[in-house]
Amino acid sequence: MTKHGFLLATLVLAGAALPIGPVTAATPEEEQAAFQAYFKQRFPNVPEDEFKNGTYAIDPVTRENWEAIEEFPPYENAISQGETLWNTPFADGQGYADCFPDGPAIMGRYPHWDRERGLVMTLPLALNACRTAHGETPLKYKKGPIADLLAYIAFESRGQITQVEIPEDDPRALAAYEQGKRFYFARRGQLNFACGHCHLATSGARLRTETLSPAYGHTTHWPVYRSDWGEMGTLHRRFAGCNEQVRAKAFEPQGEEYRNLEYFLTYMNNGLELNGPGARK
Amino acid sequence: MPLNASHRSRLTALLLGLSALSSGPLPAAGLPDDLALSGDAAAGREVATDRAKGNCVACHVMAGAESPGTIGPVLVSMQTRFPSKRDLAAQIWDATAKNPEAVMPPFGKHEILTRQEFVDVVEYIWSL
Amino acid sequence: MITTKRGDGYGLAAGVLAALLPLGAAWSETPDRAQALAGIEAAEAARQRADSVGGEWRDTAAMIARARELAEAGRYPDAIELADQAKRQGELGYDQALGEQNADFPAYVLDRSR
Protein backbone atom coordinates (compact mmCIF):
# COMPACT_ATOMS: atom_id res chain seq x y z
CA MET A 1 0.00 0.00 0.00
CA THR A 2 1.28 3.47 -0.75
CA LYS A 3 2.03 5.81 2.07
CA HIS A 4 -0.84 7.96 0.97
CA GLY A 5 -3.21 5.05 0.92
CA PHE A 6 -1.99 4.05 4.32
CA LEU A 7 -2.65 7.44 5.80
CA LEU A 8 -6.08 7.40 4.28
CA ALA A 9 -6.77 4.00 5.78
CA THR A 10 -5.52 5.25 9.11
CA LEU A 11 -7.83 8.24 8.93
CA VAL A 12 -10.75 6.04 8.05
CA LEU A 13 -9.90 3.70 10.91
CA ALA A 14 -9.41 6.58 13.32
CA GLY A 15 -12.69 8.04 12.17
CA ALA A 16 -14.41 4.73 12.82
CA ALA A 17 -12.75 4.58 16.22
CA LEU A 18 -13.97 7.90 17.47
CA PRO A 19 -17.51 8.56 18.55
CA ILE A 20 -19.29 11.48 16.95
CA GLY A 21 -20.20 14.34 19.23
CA PRO A 22 -19.15 15.13 22.79
CA VAL A 23 -18.97 11.52 23.95
CA THR A 24 -16.07 10.77 26.27
CA ALA A 25 -16.44 7.02 26.63
CA ALA A 26 -15.28 4.59 23.95
CA THR A 27 -16.11 0.94 23.60
CA PRO A 28 -13.33 -1.65 23.75
CA GLU A 29 -13.75 -2.08 19.99
CA GLU A 30 -13.13 1.62 19.44
CA GLU A 31 -10.13 1.58 21.75
CA GLN A 32 -8.69 -1.41 19.94
CA ALA A 33 -9.13 0.30 16.58
CA ALA A 34 -7.42 3.46 17.83
CA PHE A 35 -4.58 1.41 19.32
CA GLN A 36 -3.95 -0.54 16.13
CA ALA A 37 -4.34 2.53 13.92
CA TYR A 38 -1.73 4.29 16.03
CA PHE A 39 0.89 1.64 15.36
CA LYS A 40 0.08 1.36 11.68
CA GLN A 41 0.52 5.11 11.42
CA ARG A 42 3.70 5.08 13.50
CA PHE A 43 5.26 2.28 11.42
CA PRO A 44 3.73 2.80 7.99
CA ASN A 45 6.24 0.52 6.27
CA VAL A 46 5.60 -2.46 8.52
CA PRO A 47 3.04 -4.87 7.03
CA GLU A 48 0.28 -5.62 9.52
CA ASP A 49 1.13 -9.30 9.75
CA GLU A 50 4.71 -8.44 10.75
CA PHE A 51 3.85 -6.83 14.09
CA LYS A 52 3.79 -10.29 15.68
CA ASN A 53 7.58 -10.30 15.38
CA GLY A 54 8.01 -7.43 17.82
CA THR A 55 11.21 -5.45 17.62
CA TYR A 56 12.32 -7.56 14.68
CA ALA A 57 9.47 -6.17 12.60
CA ILE A 58 10.88 -2.66 12.91
CA ASP A 59 14.62 -3.08 13.40
CA PRO A 60 16.42 -4.64 10.42
CA VAL A 61 19.75 -4.85 12.27
CA THR A 62 18.59 -7.07 15.12
CA ARG A 63 16.26 -8.94 12.78
CA GLU A 64 19.17 -10.52 10.96
CA ASN A 65 20.58 -11.93 14.16
CA TRP A 66 17.13 -13.11 15.23
CA GLU A 67 16.55 -14.94 11.96
CA ALA A 68 19.85 -16.73 12.46
CA ILE A 69 18.75 -17.76 15.96
CA GLU A 70 15.44 -19.03 14.60
CA GLU A 71 17.34 -21.48 12.36
CA PHE A 72 18.12 -23.52 15.47
CA PRO A 73 15.46 -22.27 17.86
CA PRO A 74 16.47 -22.17 21.52
CA TYR A 75 12.91 -23.13 22.49
CA GLU A 76 12.92 -26.48 20.69
CA ASN A 77 13.88 -28.39 23.79
CA ALA A 78 11.01 -26.81 25.70
CA ILE A 79 8.53 -27.90 23.02
CA SER A 80 9.59 -31.53 23.22
CA GLN A 81 9.67 -31.51 27.03
CA GLY A 82 6.23 -29.91 26.99
CA GLU A 83 4.94 -32.62 24.68
CA THR A 84 6.21 -35.26 27.08
CA LEU A 85 4.49 -33.52 29.98
CA TRP A 86 1.25 -33.26 28.02
CA ASN A 87 1.29 -36.99 27.35
CA THR A 88 2.39 -38.15 30.80
CA PRO A 89 -0.61 -39.31 32.88
CA PHE A 90 -1.26 -37.90 36.34
CA ALA A 91 -1.19 -40.19 39.38
CA ASP A 92 -4.91 -40.85 38.89
CA GLY A 93 -4.28 -42.15 35.39
CA GLN A 94 -5.88 -39.16 33.68
CA GLY A 95 -4.00 -36.39 31.88
CA TYR A 96 -4.18 -32.98 30.30
CA ALA A 97 -6.05 -34.43 27.33
CA ASP A 98 -8.90 -35.31 29.70
CA CYS A 99 -9.22 -31.65 30.71
CA PHE A 100 -8.65 -30.36 27.18
CA PRO A 101 -10.35 -32.91 24.92
CA ASP A 102 -9.73 -30.83 21.79
CA GLY A 103 -6.01 -31.37 22.16
CA PRO A 104 -3.12 -29.01 22.68
CA ALA A 105 -3.89 -26.54 19.88
CA ILE A 106 -5.93 -24.28 22.17
CA MET A 107 -3.78 -21.17 22.62
CA GLY A 108 -6.19 -19.04 20.59
CA ARG A 109 -8.96 -19.59 23.15
CA TYR A 110 -7.08 -17.77 25.90
CA PRO A 111 -7.35 -15.51 27.73
CA HIS A 112 -11.12 -15.51 27.97
CA TRP A 113 -13.76 -14.31 30.36
CA ASP A 114 -14.82 -17.20 32.59
CA ARG A 115 -18.42 -16.44 33.42
CA GLU A 116 -18.75 -19.22 35.95
CA ARG A 117 -15.71 -18.26 37.99
CA GLY A 118 -16.12 -14.54 37.32
CA LEU A 119 -12.51 -14.00 36.28
CA VAL A 120 -10.15 -13.82 33.34
CA MET A 121 -9.12 -17.38 32.57
CA THR A 122 -5.61 -17.66 31.19
CA LEU A 123 -4.08 -20.82 29.79
CA PRO A 124 -1.60 -21.28 32.69
CA LEU A 125 -4.47 -20.90 35.16
CA ALA A 126 -6.50 -23.48 33.24
CA LEU A 127 -3.55 -25.90 33.17
CA ASN A 128 -3.14 -25.66 36.92
CA ALA A 129 -6.90 -25.97 37.46
CA CYS A 130 -6.65 -29.23 35.53
CA ARG A 131 -3.75 -30.40 37.67
CA THR A 132 -5.40 -29.63 41.00
CA ALA A 133 -8.67 -31.20 39.82
CA HIS A 134 -6.68 -34.40 39.36
CA GLY A 135 -4.88 -34.18 42.67
CA GLU A 136 -1.62 -32.82 41.30
CA THR A 137 0.29 -29.87 42.75
CA PRO A 138 0.00 -26.65 40.75
CA LEU A 139 3.03 -25.58 38.71
CA LYS A 140 4.89 -22.35 39.36
CA TYR A 141 3.89 -19.69 36.87
CA LYS A 142 7.07 -17.97 35.70
CA LYS A 143 9.32 -20.66 34.27
CA GLY A 144 10.14 -24.36 34.29
CA PRO A 145 7.54 -27.07 33.46
CA ILE A 146 4.72 -24.54 32.88
CA ALA A 147 6.82 -22.79 30.24
CA ASP A 148 7.56 -26.16 28.60
CA LEU A 149 3.88 -27.09 28.50
CA LEU A 150 2.99 -23.68 27.13
CA ALA A 151 5.75 -23.95 24.52
CA TYR A 152 4.26 -27.21 23.25
CA ILE A 153 0.73 -25.79 23.23
CA ALA A 154 1.88 -22.58 21.54
CA PHE A 155 3.72 -24.55 18.89
CA GLU A 156 0.67 -26.70 18.21
CA SER A 157 -1.44 -23.52 18.03
CA ARG A 158 0.73 -21.62 15.56
CA GLY A 159 -1.30 -19.91 12.90
CA GLN A 160 -4.34 -19.32 15.09
CA ILE A 161 -5.55 -15.74 15.27
CA THR A 162 -5.79 -13.64 18.43
CA GLN A 163 -9.49 -13.13 19.04
CA VAL A 164 -10.20 -12.19 22.62
CA GLU A 165 -13.83 -11.42 23.35
CA ILE A 166 -15.31 -9.14 25.95
CA PRO A 167 -18.86 -10.44 26.36
CA GLU A 168 -21.27 -7.54 26.47
CA ASP A 169 -23.78 -9.32 28.65
CA ASP A 170 -21.43 -9.60 31.65
CA PRO A 171 -20.34 -6.23 33.03
CA ARG A 172 -17.64 -7.95 35.09
CA ALA A 173 -15.78 -8.76 31.89
CA LEU A 174 -15.73 -5.12 30.87
CA ALA A 175 -14.61 -4.20 34.39
CA ALA A 176 -11.68 -6.62 34.10
CA TYR A 177 -10.74 -5.09 30.76
CA GLU A 178 -10.95 -1.59 32.24
CA GLN A 179 -8.70 -2.62 35.12
CA GLY A 180 -6.17 -4.05 32.74
CA LYS A 181 -6.27 -0.85 30.73
CA ARG A 182 -5.72 1.32 33.78
CA PHE A 183 -2.82 -0.88 34.82
CA TYR A 184 -1.27 -0.49 31.39
CA PHE A 185 -1.38 3.29 31.44
CA ALA A 186 -0.65 3.93 35.12
CA ARG A 187 2.76 5.26 36.07
CA ARG A 188 4.42 3.12 38.70
CA GLY A 189 7.68 2.56 40.50
CA GLN A 190 10.43 4.95 41.44
CA LEU A 191 11.12 5.65 37.75
CA ASN A 192 7.48 6.67 37.23
CA PHE A 193 6.94 4.88 33.92
CA ALA A 194 3.73 3.35 32.65
CA CYS A 195 3.87 0.33 30.31
CA GLY A 196 2.51 2.61 27.61
CA HIS A 197 5.30 5.15 27.95
CA CYS A 198 7.91 2.83 26.51
CA HIS A 199 5.77 0.73 24.19
CA LEU A 200 3.55 3.33 22.51
CA ALA A 201 5.06 6.78 21.97
CA THR A 202 8.69 5.70 22.28
CA SER A 203 8.37 2.30 20.63
CA GLY A 204 11.01 2.03 17.96
CA ALA A 205 13.30 4.42 19.85
CA ARG A 206 16.40 3.11 21.54
CA LEU A 207 16.90 2.79 25.27
CA ARG A 208 20.69 2.70 25.29
CA THR A 209 21.29 0.00 22.69
CA GLU A 210 17.90 -1.71 22.94
CA THR A 211 15.07 -0.92 20.55
CA LEU A 212 11.80 -0.56 22.43
CA SER A 213 9.23 -2.94 21.01
CA PRO A 214 5.73 -1.85 19.96
CA ALA A 215 2.87 -3.00 22.22
CA TYR A 216 1.12 -4.18 19.07
CA GLY A 217 2.59 -7.67 18.82
CA HIS A 218 3.43 -8.13 22.50
CA THR A 219 1.12 -11.06 23.18
CA THR A 220 1.51 -13.34 20.15
CA HIS A 221 4.63 -15.35 20.85
CA TRP A 222 4.64 -16.63 24.44
CA PRO A 223 6.33 -18.37 26.10
CA VAL A 224 9.67 -16.97 25.08
CA TYR A 225 13.28 -18.04 25.23
CA ARG A 226 14.89 -14.80 26.30
CA SER A 227 18.65 -14.50 25.91
CA ASP A 228 18.66 -12.19 28.92
CA TRP A 229 17.15 -15.01 31.02
CA GLY A 230 19.09 -17.79 29.34
CA GLU A 231 15.90 -19.86 29.51
CA MET A 232 12.18 -19.95 28.81
CA GLY A 233 9.74 -17.71 30.61
CA THR A 234 6.06 -16.84 30.58
CA LEU A 235 4.27 -13.60 29.76
CA HIS A 236 3.68 -12.91 33.44
CA ARG A 237 7.37 -13.40 34.16
CA ARG A 238 8.00 -10.64 31.62
CA PHE A 239 5.32 -8.42 33.18
CA ALA A 240 7.05 -8.84 36.54
CA GLY A 241 10.45 -8.08 35.02
CA CYS A 242 9.14 -4.90 33.38
CA ASN A 243 7.61 -3.74 36.64
CA GLU A 244 10.88 -4.27 38.42
CA GLN A 245 12.78 -2.40 35.73
CA VAL A 246 10.75 0.69 36.53
CA ARG A 247 11.52 -0.08 40.20
CA ALA A 248 8.00 -1.07 41.15
CA LYS A 249 7.25 -4.14 43.23
CA ALA A 250 6.13 -6.86 40.88
CA PHE A 251 2.69 -8.42 41.27
CA GLU A 252 2.03 -12.14 41.62
CA PRO A 253 2.16 -14.05 38.34
CA GLN A 254 -1.41 -15.12 37.48
CA GLY A 255 -2.77 -12.77 40.14
CA GLU A 256 -5.74 -10.62 39.19
CA GLU A 257 -3.64 -7.60 38.17
CA TYR A 258 -1.59 -9.44 35.56
CA ARG A 259 -4.50 -11.55 34.32
CA ASN A 260 -6.55 -8.41 33.68
CA LEU A 261 -3.51 -6.79 32.09
CA GLU A 262 -3.14 -9.81 29.80
CA TYR A 263 -6.85 -9.58 28.95
CA PHE A 264 -6.55 -5.93 27.92
CA LEU A 265 -3.26 -6.29 26.08
CA THR A 266 -4.25 -9.44 24.19
CA TYR A 267 -7.52 -7.80 23.22
CA MET A 268 -5.51 -4.89 21.79
CA ASN A 269 -3.65 -7.47 19.69
CA ASN A 270 -6.77 -9.04 18.23
CA GLY A 271 -6.31 -10.07 14.63
CA LEU A 272 -2.61 -10.90 14.94
CA GLU A 273 -1.44 -14.44 14.27
CA LEU A 274 -0.12 -16.53 17.15
CA ASN A 275 3.51 -17.49 16.53
CA GLY A 276 4.81 -18.82 19.83
CA PRO A 277 6.99 -19.98 21.29
CA GLY A 278 9.39 -17.18 20.52
CA ALA A 279 12.99 -16.09 20.90
CA ARG A 280 13.83 -12.61 22.11
CA LYS A 281 16.80 -10.74 23.48
CA MET B 1 12.44 -9.82 45.61
CA PRO B 2 15.75 -11.08 46.99
CA LEU B 3 18.45 -8.56 47.53
CA ASN B 4 20.92 -9.02 44.69
CA ALA B 5 24.37 -7.56 44.36
CA SER B 6 23.28 -4.43 42.53
CA HIS B 7 20.63 -3.69 45.13
CA ARG B 8 23.12 -4.20 47.86
CA SER B 9 25.56 -1.81 46.30
CA ARG B 10 22.72 0.61 45.79
CA LEU B 11 21.77 0.40 49.44
CA THR B 12 25.37 0.93 50.40
CA ALA B 13 25.43 3.92 48.11
CA LEU B 14 22.30 5.18 49.79
CA LEU B 15 23.94 4.89 53.15
CA LEU B 16 27.12 6.58 52.00
CA GLY B 17 25.12 9.35 50.41
CA LEU B 18 23.18 10.08 53.54
CA SER B 19 25.35 12.91 54.72
CA ALA B 20 24.21 14.78 51.64
CA LEU B 21 20.59 14.49 52.66
CA SER B 22 18.89 16.63 55.19
CA SER B 23 17.40 14.59 57.99
CA GLY B 24 13.87 15.89 57.55
CA PRO B 25 11.46 14.63 54.93
CA LEU B 26 11.92 16.08 51.45
CA PRO B 27 9.17 18.29 50.11
CA ALA B 28 6.79 16.11 48.18
CA ALA B 29 6.62 18.23 45.07
CA GLY B 30 8.89 20.90 43.68
CA LEU B 31 12.58 21.65 43.66
CA PRO B 32 13.42 22.92 47.15
CA ASP B 33 14.06 26.67 47.18
CA ASP B 34 16.98 26.27 49.53
CA LEU B 35 18.85 23.73 47.38
CA ALA B 36 22.19 25.32 46.48
CA LEU B 37 23.00 24.54 42.86
CA SER B 38 26.75 24.46 43.23
CA GLY B 39 27.66 20.88 42.35
CA ASP B 40 30.76 19.28 40.92
CA ALA B 41 30.46 18.81 37.15
CA ALA B 42 33.10 16.07 37.00
CA ALA B 43 31.29 14.02 39.64
CA GLY B 44 28.03 14.76 37.82
CA ARG B 45 29.42 13.32 34.63
CA GLU B 46 30.01 10.00 36.42
CA VAL B 47 26.48 9.98 37.77
CA ALA B 48 25.03 10.91 34.36
CA THR B 49 26.59 7.91 32.67
CA ASP B 50 26.19 5.38 35.53
CA ARG B 51 23.51 2.81 34.70
CA ALA B 52 22.21 2.53 38.25
CA LYS B 53 22.19 6.25 38.92
CA GLY B 54 21.52 9.05 36.48
CA ASN B 55 21.79 6.92 33.37
CA CYS B 56 20.98 10.03 31.29
CA VAL B 57 22.63 8.33 28.33
CA ALA B 58 19.96 5.61 28.32
CA CYS B 59 17.64 8.14 26.68
CA HIS B 60 19.78 11.13 25.64
CA VAL B 61 22.65 11.65 23.25
CA MET B 62 25.43 13.27 25.28
CA ALA B 63 28.90 14.40 24.25
CA GLY B 64 31.46 11.69 24.94
CA ALA B 65 28.97 9.02 26.07
CA GLU B 66 28.80 5.79 24.08
CA SER B 67 25.68 3.96 22.86
CA PRO B 68 23.19 6.64 23.75
CA GLY B 69 19.44 6.16 23.58
CA THR B 70 17.18 8.15 21.28
CA ILE B 71 14.17 8.79 23.49
CA GLY B 72 14.87 12.25 24.85
CA PRO B 73 16.36 15.35 23.21
CA VAL B 74 20.10 15.63 22.60
CA LEU B 75 21.80 17.21 25.61
CA VAL B 76 23.60 20.12 23.99
CA SER B 77 23.59 23.93 24.29
CA MET B 78 21.73 23.62 27.55
CA GLN B 79 22.37 27.22 28.55
CA THR B 80 20.52 28.44 25.48
CA ARG B 81 17.63 26.05 26.04
CA PHE B 82 16.99 26.80 29.69
CA PRO B 83 16.75 30.35 31.00
CA SER B 84 18.60 29.45 34.17
CA LYS B 85 20.37 26.62 35.92
CA ARG B 86 17.44 26.47 38.32
CA ASP B 87 15.01 25.92 35.45
CA LEU B 88 17.15 23.04 34.23
CA ALA B 89 17.29 21.70 37.78
CA ALA B 90 13.51 21.85 38.04
CA GLN B 91 13.23 19.82 34.85
CA ILE B 92 15.53 17.10 36.20
CA TRP B 93 13.88 17.21 39.64
CA ASP B 94 10.42 16.47 38.23
CA ALA B 95 9.69 16.97 34.55
CA THR B 96 5.99 16.23 35.06
CA ALA B 97 5.57 19.43 37.09
CA LYS B 98 5.74 21.43 33.86
CA ASN B 99 4.36 18.77 31.51
CA PRO B 100 2.19 16.07 33.10
CA GLU B 101 2.81 13.79 30.10
CA ALA B 102 6.60 13.94 30.41
CA VAL B 103 8.21 10.51 30.36
CA MET B 104 11.44 11.45 32.13
CA PRO B 105 11.76 10.01 35.65
CA PRO B 106 11.59 12.56 38.50
CA PHE B 107 15.18 12.20 39.66
CA GLY B 108 14.81 14.61 42.58
CA LYS B 109 11.22 14.15 43.68
CA HIS B 110 11.51 10.36 43.74
CA GLU B 111 14.99 10.45 45.28
CA ILE B 112 16.50 8.45 42.46
CA LEU B 113 19.58 10.56 43.10
CA THR B 114 20.85 11.81 46.43
CA ARG B 115 20.89 15.56 46.75
CA GLN B 116 24.62 15.66 46.18
CA GLU B 117 24.32 13.54 43.05
CA PHE B 118 21.46 15.71 41.92
CA VAL B 119 23.32 19.00 42.16
CA ASP B 120 26.39 17.42 40.57
CA VAL B 121 24.34 16.20 37.60
CA VAL B 122 22.70 19.60 37.22
CA GLU B 123 26.14 21.19 37.15
CA TYR B 124 27.36 18.78 34.50
CA ILE B 125 24.30 18.99 32.24
CA TRP B 126 24.31 22.78 32.54
CA SER B 127 27.90 22.72 31.23
CA LEU B 128 26.92 20.86 28.03
CA MET C 1 30.37 4.41 61.02
CA ILE C 2 28.19 7.48 61.05
CA THR C 3 27.84 8.63 64.63
CA THR C 4 25.18 10.55 66.47
CA LYS C 5 26.44 13.84 65.07
CA ARG C 6 22.92 14.62 64.02
CA GLY C 7 22.62 16.78 67.10
CA ASP C 8 20.62 16.82 70.23
CA GLY C 9 17.76 18.68 68.59
CA TYR C 10 16.73 15.54 66.85
CA GLY C 11 16.92 13.48 70.03
CA LEU C 12 14.91 16.13 71.80
CA ALA C 13 12.29 16.04 69.09
CA ALA C 14 12.17 12.29 69.36
CA GLY C 15 11.82 12.62 73.10
CA VAL C 16 8.89 14.95 72.70
CA LEU C 17 7.38 12.54 70.19
CA ALA C 18 8.00 9.72 72.61
CA ALA C 19 6.05 11.51 75.27
CA LEU C 20 3.20 12.07 72.86
CA LEU C 21 3.02 8.59 71.40
CA PRO C 22 1.51 5.71 73.36
CA LEU C 23 4.26 3.29 72.44
CA GLY C 24 4.68 1.93 75.93
CA ALA C 25 7.54 -0.45 76.51
CA ALA C 26 9.59 0.66 73.52
CA TRP C 27 10.49 3.84 75.33
CA SER C 28 12.10 2.15 78.26
CA GLU C 29 14.97 1.43 75.89
CA THR C 30 17.58 3.97 74.90
CA PRO C 31 16.11 6.85 72.88
CA ASP C 32 18.16 6.04 69.80
CA ARG C 33 17.06 2.43 69.66
CA ALA C 34 13.47 3.40 70.28
CA GLN C 35 13.70 6.07 67.62
CA ALA C 36 15.10 3.56 65.13
CA LEU C 37 12.37 1.04 65.88
CA ALA C 38 9.69 3.71 65.61
CA GLY C 39 11.16 4.85 62.29
CA ILE C 40 11.15 1.30 61.01
CA GLU C 41 7.56 0.78 62.12
CA ALA C 42 6.53 4.00 60.39
CA ALA C 43 8.32 2.92 57.22
CA GLU C 44 6.63 -0.47 57.33
CA ALA C 45 3.23 1.18 57.78
CA ALA C 46 3.90 3.47 54.80
CA ARG C 47 5.03 0.49 52.72
CA GLN C 48 1.89 -1.47 53.56
CA ARG C 49 -0.28 1.53 52.76
CA ALA C 50 1.38 1.85 49.34
CA ASP C 51 1.01 -1.89 48.78
CA SER C 52 -2.70 -1.70 49.61
CA VAL C 53 -3.24 0.43 46.50
CA GLY C 54 -0.73 -1.43 44.31
CA GLY C 55 1.80 1.37 44.60
CA GLU C 56 4.71 -0.24 46.43
CA TRP C 57 8.15 0.32 44.95
CA ARG C 58 10.70 -2.39 44.28
CA ASP C 59 13.31 -1.72 46.93
CA THR C 60 11.25 -0.43 49.85
CA ALA C 61 10.87 -3.76 51.64
CA ALA C 62 14.57 -4.53 51.23
CA MET C 63 15.45 -1.10 52.63
CA ILE C 64 13.28 -1.73 55.68
CA ALA C 65 14.85 -5.17 56.16
CA ARG C 66 18.29 -3.54 55.96
CA ALA C 67 17.21 -0.86 58.42
CA ARG C 68 16.21 -3.62 60.84
CA GLU C 69 19.63 -5.23 60.48
CA LEU C 70 21.32 -1.91 61.12
CA ALA C 71 19.20 -1.36 64.20
CA GLU C 72 20.04 -4.86 65.44
CA ALA C 73 23.72 -3.99 64.97
CA GLY C 74 23.25 -0.85 67.04
CA ARG C 75 23.77 1.46 64.09
CA TYR C 76 20.72 3.53 64.95
CA PRO C 77 21.41 6.72 62.96
CA ASP C 78 22.00 4.65 59.80
CA ALA C 79 18.88 2.62 60.48
CA ILE C 80 16.84 5.79 61.00
CA GLU C 81 18.06 7.38 57.78
CA LEU C 82 17.27 4.30 55.75
CA ALA C 83 13.90 3.82 57.43
CA ASP C 84 13.01 7.45 56.74
CA GLN C 85 13.93 7.00 53.13
CA ALA C 86 11.83 3.83 52.90
CA LYS C 87 8.95 5.70 54.52
CA ARG C 88 9.16 8.44 51.91
CA GLN C 89 9.15 5.76 49.20
CA GLY C 90 5.97 4.36 50.71
CA GLU C 91 4.38 7.81 50.76
CA LEU C 92 5.48 8.64 47.22
CA GLY C 93 4.29 5.27 45.92
CA TYR C 94 0.93 5.68 47.63
CA ASP C 95 0.43 9.17 46.18
CA GLN C 96 1.56 7.95 42.78
CA ALA C 97 -0.95 5.09 42.74
CA LEU C 98 -3.82 7.35 43.80
CA GLY C 99 -2.87 9.89 41.14
CA GLU C 100 -2.90 7.17 38.47
CA GLN C 101 -6.23 5.61 39.41
CA ASN C 102 -7.90 6.84 36.24
CA ALA C 103 -4.97 6.31 33.90
CA ASP C 104 -6.11 6.00 30.32
CA PHE C 105 -5.00 5.99 26.71
CA PRO C 106 -2.86 9.02 25.94
CA ALA C 107 -4.62 11.63 23.81
CA TYR C 108 -2.28 10.99 20.90
CA VAL C 109 -3.78 7.51 20.60
CA LEU C 110 -7.37 8.17 21.66
CA ASP C 111 -8.63 11.69 22.16
CA ARG C 112 -11.57 11.53 24.54
CA SER C 113 -12.48 15.18 24.04
CA ARG C 114 -13.34 14.73 20.39
Are A23 and A68 members of one domain? no
In this structure, what are the phi and psi dihedrals at residue A121, rounded to the nearest 5 degrees?
-90, 120
Chains that touch A (3 or more CB pairs under 8 A): B, C
* Cα dihedral sign, B11-B15-B17-B18: positive
C78 at interface of B, judged by CB pairs closer than 8 A: yes
Are A90 and A37 members of one domain? no
Nearest CA in chain B to C13: B24
Q: Out of C56, C106, C112, whose CB is closest to A196?
A: C106
Could you list the pLDDT tens digit for every one of the 281 residues in chain A? 344 444 444 444 444 444 444 445 789 999 999 999 999 999 999 999 999 999 999 998 899 999 999 999 999 999 999 999 999 999 999 999 999 999 999 999 999 999 999 999 999 999 999 999 999 999 999 999 999 999 999 999 999 999 999 999 999 999 999 999 999 999 999 999 999 999 999 999 999 888 999 999 999 999 999 999 999 999 999 999 999 999 999 999 999 999 999 999 999 999 999 999 999 99
- 8 Å CB contact of A193 and B69: no
Q: Which of C102, C105, B101 is nearest to A34 (CA)?
A: C105
User: Where are the extended beta strands (E) located within chain A?
Assistant: 112-114, 119-121, 206-207, 210-211, 224-226, 231-233, 278-280
Question: What is residue A192's three-state secondary structure?
Answer: coil
Q: Out of A202, A208, A209, whose CB is closest to B103?
A: A202
Q: Categorise residue A234: left if φ over 0, alpha if ψ from -120 to 50, beta otherwise.
A: beta
Question: Is A187 labeled as ligand-binding?
Answer: no
The 10s digit of each residue's pLDDT in B62-96 is 988 888 999 999 999 999 999 999 999 999 999 99
Residue B94, C-beta contacts closer than 8 angstroms, at least 6 positions apart: B29, B30, B31, B106, B108, B109
- 8 Å CB contact of C91 and B19: no
Would the pLDDT of B7 be above 90?
no
Q: Note the pLDDT of residue B16.
A: 37
Q: Out of A34, A187, A250, whose CB is closest to C110?
A: A34
Give Cα separations from A228 to A236, A280, C42 (angstroms): 16, 8, 37
Reported ipTM: 0.86
Domains located in chain B, CATH noted = 34-126 (1.10.760.10)
Give counts: helices (H), strands (E), chain A: 12, 7
Residue B92: exposure state from Cβ atoms within 10 A (0-12, 13-18, ≥19): buried
Are A81 and A61 members of one domain? yes
Cα–Cα dist A199/B71, whole Å = 12
Cα–Cα dist B105/B9, whole Å = 21
Residue A259, C-beta contacts closer than 8 angstroms, at least 6 positions apart: A111, A119, A120, A122, A125, A176
B7 at interface of A, judged by CB pairs closer than 8 A: no
Question: What is residue B65's three-state secondary structure?
Answer: coil
How many domains in chain A?
2
A186 at interface of C, judged by CB pairs closer than 8 A: yes
- 8 Å CB contact of A192 and B96: yes
Would the pLDDT of C23 be above 90?
no
Q: Which of A163, A162, A170 is nearest to A113 (CA)?
A: A170
Domain boundaries, given as residue ranges, for chain C: 29-99
Question: Is A242 labeled as ligand-binding?
Answer: yes
Task: Kindly list the residues from chain A whose CB atom is less than 8 angstroms away from the CB atom of residue B67.
Answer: 208-209
CA-based R_g, chain A, Å: 19
Are A8 and A111 members of one domain? no
Query: Is residue A242 flagged as an active site residue?
Result: yes
Q: Domain of A168?
A: 54-281
Are A14 and A69 members of one domain? no
Are A270 and A209 members of one domain? yes
- 8 Å CB contact of B71 and A202: yes
- 8 Å CB contact of C10 and B23: yes
Distance from CA of A40 to the nearest CA of B (A): 20
Q: Which of B103, B110, B114 to mutate to test the interface with A (most CBs of A within 10 A)?
A: B103
Question: Is A130 labeled as ligand-binding?
Answer: yes
